Amino acid sequence: MPGSRGIGQSFSISDAGATAAQHGDADFFVFRTDFFFRYGPTDRTELSLDLPYIRNEIRTEQSDEHHRDEVLEGLGDIRLSLKHFFVAEKKLQVAGIFGLSVPTGKINRITRASYIDHDEGGRLGIIIPRHSHLQLGTGTFDPFVGLEAVYRLKKGWMIYGSVVANLPFYENRYGYRTAPNVNLAVGPAVSLGKSRVILSLLANVFYSGRDQFRGKDIYGLGGVVDGDLGVPNTGRLEFSLQPNLSWAVNKNLTLNVNLNVPIYTRIRTNSLDRDVQLTEQVGVFLGMSWHF
């Protein structure tokens, strides 16, 4: 809302599972709590601060150098943003979003050998180091931009749309560069009048390029491996549906319940450009905000 002020908290949980030939079955869980603060210095401008606390967890059927039961939790990358409403009419609202992600989340150092599977390690005659791929951030200052629009129809109906692009543009201190990604959401919403409840159903598309790693070449008795590569299990295309419920309990307190229902997800598994379909469970998002 243009010119609003408020604080809020949201909690989310999601689960993804994949089967890799070298590593067996692995389930990945993400538990995330966001504390956000918003302030509207003018009728058309809103400043926000997002403080995420993240818990990443892996559960495996069989442990090895690549995957094992492990947990990494802590503060993620803080996000600062400015939203400006270029159009703020009763029937149509259009806002631009400009922001920066600050590298406050912990990152683990990973070497080139951490991306080699067991068969390739055996061919090279090297020992794969025990390592963790879990990260709480990107390790870089990453700008992001977006656009939001709401078009109001009759009898409480409206059409909502948004697009947000995260634009990492350099490598972190360990030679890892997170790929740019874009998220598009569009769909209908309806206000149920005196109940102060808004229901919406959004179609969501998420696309991410492939992360890049710049490391040293690895030499073994069986040959050499290039130190630069496209990171396995990155590069993602996802289609999902997002039913949402927002309830304005009173003029200050709003509660939100959002679901993310995956329809189709594919990731790039290795440097041979082989794709695999990822099995994901429904994500649950609970939120509460206080406006003043």
Provide the residue-wise pLDDT of the chain in tens; the chain has 292 residues.
Answer: 555 555 555 555 554 444 333 344 667 888 888 888 888 888 899 999 999 999 988 888 777 666 778 889 999 999 999 999 999 898 999 999 999 999 999 998 888 878 777 777 778 887 777 777 889 999 999 999 999 999 999 888 999 999 999 999 999 999 999 999 999 999 999 998 777 899 999 999 999 998 998 888 888 877 888 888 888 778 889 999 999 999 888 878 888 888 889 898 887 665 445 555 455 667 788 888 877 6
* pLDDT at position 7: 57
CA separation for the pair 216, 161 (Å, rounded) = 44
φ and ψ at 202, to 5 degrees?
-110, 140
B/e letters for 10-38, b = 16+ CB within 10 Å, e = fewer, are bebbbbbebebeebeebbbbebbbbebeb
* Residue 157 CA neighbour count, 13 Å, CB half: 5
Determine how β-strand 5-20 pairs with β-strand 283-291: antiparallel
Structure tokens at 141: 């200052």
Enumerate domains of the chain plus CATH numbers: 5-291 (2.40.160.40)
* pLDDT at position 2: 53
Structure tokens at 49: 């601060």
Q: Is the CB of residue 116 less than 8 Å from the CB of residue 150?
A: no
* pLDDT at position 273: 52
